[in-house]
């Protein structure tokens, strides 16, 4: 396995722990809260507001690196949530947008192309 020598052991351990937890959630092995099918996320994985989430994910939005926005995403469960998030994010980018070309592609996914 190739590893970046500049990445600290602590960071690698955090990533490993996150990967194991994500697998446990995906496999249904993460313990649920009594009487529910909900799981408890650690406090360090939670934010108080949508605004705080946007600030965390896009903290350096004035960057000149084209890949900056390609490497970040906020996932949402419903189209309405996505539209709301996009509007909030775009409002914060008004001063930056004149330097960035934004392209979008919206199409129905062919079921044959999915897993």
Q: What is the pLDDT of residues 2-38, one digit of tens each?
A: 566 777 888 888 889 889 988 988 898 989 999 998 9
For helices 50-57 and 79-92, angle between their N-to-C axes, nearest 10 degrees: 60
Asked whether the predicted pLDDT for residue 113 surpasses 80, the reply is no
Side-chain-side CA neighbours of residue 52 (13 Å): 6
Q: Give per-residue pLDDT as tens, 67-105.
A: 777 888 888 888 888 999 988 988 887 666 656 666 666
Closest CA to 70 of 99, 94, 101, 49: 101
Name the DSSP letter for residue 93: T
**Domain coordinates in residue numbering, the chain:** 7-41, 47-102
Structure tokens at 61: 């939005």
């Amino acid at each position: 396995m190739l590893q970046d020598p500049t990445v600290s052991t602590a960071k690698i351990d955090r990533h490993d722990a996150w990967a194991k937890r994500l697998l446990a959630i995906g496999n249904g092995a993460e313990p649920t809260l009594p009487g529910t099918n909900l799981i408890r996320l650690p406090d360090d994985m939670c934010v108080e507001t949508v605004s705080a989430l946007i600030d965390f994910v896009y903290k350096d939005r004035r960057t000149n690196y084209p890949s900056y926005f390609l490497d970040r995403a906020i996932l949402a469960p419903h189209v309405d949530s996505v539209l709301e998030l996009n509007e909030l994010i775009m409002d914060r980018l008004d001063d930056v947008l004149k330097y960035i070309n934004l392209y979008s592609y919206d199409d129905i996914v062919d079921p044959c192309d999915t897993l």
